[in-house]
Amino acid sequence: MCPDCRHKLVPIDLIPVVSWLMLKGKCRYCHKSISLQYPLIEILAVLLFALSYYYWPFSLHGYGLAAFIAWLIIVIGFVALTVLDARWYWLPDRIVYPLIAIALTYIILISFSTQRFTANITGSLIGIAIIAGLYYLLYKLSKGKWMGLGDAKLGIVIGILVGGPFHSLLVLFLSATTGSIAALPFLITGKLKRNSLLPFGPFLILATIVTVLFGASIIHWYQNLYI
């Protein structure tokens, strides 16, 4: 719907980027300006699709292609969660729970494609235990002050996707590092206080995308530093 007049949009109004350009950035019905954030979010999704295709680490045939399609659906959910968490500190169950089901489908398809059933399923269970388990523990210990329950639920999706101890630790490291780097300028300028809320979902999601697409290469590079 239009964010101003709440008029229900029809398919021709919903073509990513194209509709916004055709309507010159205005609602067809109330003629008020539509924020540039909408086409920018759509462009971000397109770029993530292209990046995923170019750097996809698995086969793009048979089960591998089906897994890739599942991954693209997950990317759409990730983009939505990023926007919701960044603006309203909200990771809604109506998105997270379906993503858990799609992530399970994804890992099953990957297992068929790579013929590594036991390793992949075991890895996903380890990933859930490390990522979701850690964030749930932080949520309980702090009574929601350090970490939200939504982050722990998102950790289930991420644990399934990345699997294994090394990839899970890479997600934790990348999300903590990028979150700290992003927060530092605001802490220095005083716009953020030590007790201020910072949406952590976007950093988790960014770390997950990097780990799924480049995790094996990053871990291999890191191991070679000590061999």
Ordered per-residue pLDDT tens for the chain, 227 residues: 898 999 999 999 999 999 999 999 999 999 999 999 999 999 999 999 999 999 999 999 999 999 999 999 999 999 999 999 999 999 999 999 999 999 999 999 999 999 999 999 999 999 999 999 999 999 999 988 888 999 999 999 999 999 999 999 999 999 999 999 998 888 788 777 766 778 999 999 999 999 999 999 999 998 888 76
Residue 39 · residue 17 · CB < 8 Å? yes
Nearest residue to 131 (alpha-carbon basis) of 90, 180, 172, 174? 172
Q: Where are any strands of DSSP class E within the chain? A: none
In angstroms, the CA 103 to CA 108 distance is: 9
Q: Where are any strands of DSSP class E within 143-201? A: none
The end-to-end CA distance of the chain, in Å, is 56
State the greatest distance between any 2 C-alpha atoms of the chain, in Å, as a whole number: 64
Residue 20 · residue 34 · CB < 8 Å? yes
